[in-house]
Amino acid sequence: MLTISHFKPENAVIDEICPAGEPWMGMVKKGQTFRILDLEGNQAVDTLFYNADNLEERYSAVDTIQRQSRLYLTTGSVLFSSEGNAMATITADTCGRHDTLGGACAAESNTVRYALDKKYMHSCRDNFMHAINHCDCAHHLNMTKRDITANINFFMNVPVTSEGELSFADGISAPGKYVEIQAEMNLMVLISNCPQLNNPCNAYNPTPIQMLVWD
Amino acid sequence: MQDILWEELIPGGNHWSGVLRRGNTLRLTDLESGANVSALFYNKEEKLERYNMPDTLKAQQTAFLTLGNVCYSDMGRIFCSVTADTVGWHDTICGVSDAMYIQKKYGKANFQTHRNGMLRSGKDGLLIELGKWGLGKRDLGPTVNFFSKVTADDYGLLTYQPGNSKTGDIVDLRFEMDTLVVISTSPHPLDPKKEYKPAAIKLTVKKTGDVPADDVCRNHCSQNERGFINTERYYAR
């Protein structure tokens, strides 16, 4: 469902650009609203959420799907944790559909999906690995690959047919489209602004995104 | 017919874990119709390598599993291949129930009131088994729900399809890696049946050996061919 937001960028407490292909990690406190803005369009944003007060509790794609009997995310969708708690709610969305089945690209899965020699390209999982080792906010968390679970792909379109066929369709996002998430608990947010060059999820041209947070 | 290495019955609503060796095939049999087998896979010698639902679906461009499909690890390798299937659809996208959900849906039935008839959620059963191998909540990802079928409409609204699996239905998983298998036989979370009566299943393990050149799973798509190459390289000696 398309819904616009009334938050104004000039009032944001965080306003940062995440360049094309780079990771981003940060805290969003309970009650704050977090916007991801697709600046140039068709940019997949691979996103994971953790309970900042208990890392073992994290975003669960299958709990989110199962508890709402819905595959796609949009305004009104609740993002459920591995403990069955509401972590966040999507409160505005000018794109209309976001994916939570497609996961993150990785060097190793590149070899399967595209060709054995496509391993040495930048990937979302390598971005996640880099971020959890370098972000100041992650130093005390001791995160490893164990903590990288099935993520959300904001702005990505992965339709499933009634026959169970799954495809990576052209994006339905465009320059200036955004999604907003209201935090229902203190969240650690881990993002890879997807660097994948081998499929249409970024229109073969990864671009920057803007992150805004309001109290 | 190859020799059976071992067999074991698992009652409905219970849980199991064990190691399946490369070159052996695990047959799951639905003994009472309407079974649900929620399964997770880990590399026996490096358990950080585990079943990855998105990679499995993306590589084969499918939202469910059947004959010809394989289960991918997060390292581009193949844990197991579906080499026989009388069911036709195994769910990958719904995960398992938790204790609160089971109590809300079926009522309270603990050990004090029901002894071994107590109701165990899928999540709690999997966590009990994971704990036996030094694993825990951080290792519990999306499961394959063998024997269960859930379809999506154009808007992504999901519908559980009853009657997907009947008594005697089977699915064969040929293991391509030495794999820790963790199983719960609790009901599928979207199964609308009001009674908690999950079906018992049978595990049957046979030695099946090397993958033949004309293998239906290896030749299912070019992605699977590369997945098999990655797996063979891991075991090269």
Digit-coded pLDDT (tens) for A56-94: 999 999 999 999 999 999 999 999 999 999 999 999 999
Residue A167 has pLDDT above 90, yes or no: no
**Residue B2 pLDDT class (50, 70, 90 cuts):** low
**In the predicted structure, residue B164 carries a pLDDT above the cut 60:** yes
**Which domain covers residue B198, as residue numbers?**
4-235
Contact check, Cβ <8 Å, A72/B64: no
pLDDT at A140: 84
A198 CB within 8 Å of a chain B CB: no
Instruction: State whether B93 and A101 contact (CB < 8 Å).
Output: yes
ipTM of this model? 0.97
Residue B150 has pLDDT above 50, yes or no: yes
Residues in chain B with CB shorter than 8 Å from the CB of A110 are 76
Contacts of A146 in chain B (CB under 8 A): 48, 138-139
Instruction: Give the C-alpha separation, B148 to B121, whole Å.
Output: 16
Strands A187-193 and A23-28: antiparallel
For residue range B188-231, what is the model confidence (pLDDT) as tens digits? 999 999 999 999 999 999 999 999 999 999 999 999 999 999 99
Q: What is the residue extent of each domain of chain A?
A: 23-214
pLDDT band at B99 (very low <50, low <70, confident <90, very high): very high
| pLDDT range class, residue A211, cuts 50, 70, 90 | very high
Q: Are A75 and A92 in contact (CB under 8 A)?
A: yes
Task: For residue B2, give how far its alpha carbon lies from the nearest alpha carbon of chain A (Å).
Answer: 32
Per the CB < 8 Å rule, is B230 touching A108? yes
Contact B139 A106 (CB under 8 A): no
- Chain B CA closest to residue A116: B226
Mean residue pLDDT across chain A: 95
Residues of B in contact with A166 (CB under 8 A): 57-58, 61-63
What mean pLDDT is predicted for residues B139-159?
A: 97
- Total tally of structural domains belonging to chain B: 1
**Closest by Cβ to B190, choosing from A66, A106, A146:** A66
pLDDT at residue A148 is higher than 70: yes
Report, as an integer, the average pLDDT of A12-34.
97
Predicted pLDDT of residue A175: 96
Q: DSSP state, A155?
A: T
Residues 89-148 of A with CB under 8 A from B: 97, 101-104, 106, 108-113, 115-116, 125, 144-147
**Where are the alpha helices (H) located in chain A, listed in sequence order?**
61-68, 107-113, 124-134
